[in-house]
Chain A
Amino acid sequence: QQQVKQSPQSLIVQKGGISIINCAYENTAFDYFPWYQQFPGKGPALLIAIRPDVSEKKEGRFTISFNKSAKQFSLHIMDSQPGDSATYFCAAKTSGAGSYQLTFGKGTKLSVIP
């Protein structure tokens, strides 16, 4: 059972364009939603995260939009650059006692072409 569904599986964007990656979840107990960026051969790096008490969070060129009623959240990368080419993972976690694991989506491979 996949608790976090991520789309698209791959994405090609031109330099300067906007990259949009979407995630949907089922478990309403999730209350922390981070995005990770992973380059080949490296571990995932925390990019940006949001809690459901806000609908949007922006850090530089990266924005998370969150829709609690739809149980969906998305990552927007503005002014996409070739250096942004990587695999992006959404994740979710509950903060209840005894549960510390992150549940990840399957990832989106982003290619930004010059």
Chain B
Amino acid sequence: DTGVSQNPRHKITKRGQNVTFRCDPISEHNRLYWYRQTLGQGPEFLTYFQNEAQLEKSRLLSDRFSAERPKGSFSTLEIQRTEQGDSAMYLCASSSAGSSYNEQFFGPGTRLTVL
């Protein structure tokens, strides 16, 4: 399967714990995005990487959130001191800079539940 993969698929944690999610983009894609989707809503943009550089961050990305893409391949999203309001599906997408439309392809997501 050459699509975007995300791990874990599900994460249940207690309030105040730290969690980390991983995204592996489509291999030739140099652009990577993180979105958050809550129940009954469309995905909301969190942050964007081109290669290893984080070029855009949403104001939704509070200082408890940090994302990295150290070698320009996979990316991690860490949430520190989780809150119940962080419960959501965290989606990763990737695209190719060579694509004229910059089509973004999404992974299956990581569903986070904070108790």
With beta carbons under 8 angstroms apart, the residue of B40, B43, B103 that contacts A104 is: B43
Most chain B CB atoms below 10 A, which of A44, A104, A106 = A44
Give chain A interface residues in 60-96, CB to chain B under 8 Å.
89, 91, 93, 95
For window 42-71 of B, CB contacts with A under 8 Å fall at 42-45, 48, 55-56, 58
Given contacts A32-B101, A32-B102, A43-B91, A98 and B109 within 8 Å (CB-CB): no
Q: Tell whether, in the assembled complex, residue B41 and residue A43 are in contact, meaning their CB atoms are under 8 Å apart.
A: no
Given contacts A43-B109, A107-B40, whether A102 and B91 have CB atoms under 8 Å apart is no
Interface pair A43/B33, CB less than 8 Å apart: no
Q: B31 on the interface (CB 8 Å rule)?
A: yes
- Cβ of A46: which chain B residues have Cβ within 8 Å of it? 103-106
Q: Which chain B residues border A7 with CB–CB below 8 Å?
A: none
Do the beta carbons of B107 and A98 come within 8 Å of each other? Answer: no
How many Å from the CB of A72 to the closest CB on chain B? 17
Once the chains bind, are B105 and A101 in contact (CB under 8 Å)? no
Q: Is A34 an interface residue (CB 8 A)?
A: yes
Contacts of B104 in A (CB 8 A): 34, 46, 102
Q: Which residues of B contact A22 (CB under 8 A)?
A: none
Q: Is A1 an interface residue (CB 8 A)?
A: no
Given contacts A102-B35, A106-B41, A107-B40, 15 further A-B contacts (CB under 8 A): A34-B103, A41-B108, A43-B4, A43-B91, A43-B109, A44-B91, A45-B106, A46-B106, A89-B43, A93-B102, A95-B102, A100-B48, A100-B55, A100-B102, A102-B104
CB-defined A-B contacts under 8 Å, sample of 13: A41-B111, A42-B108, A43-B91, A43-B93, A43-B108, A46-B103, A89-B43, A98-B55, A99-B56, A101-B48, A102-B35, A104-B43, A104-B44
Chain A residues at the B interface, C-beta cutoff of 8 Å: 6, 32, 34, 36, 41-46, 49, 51, 89, 91, 93, 95, 98-107
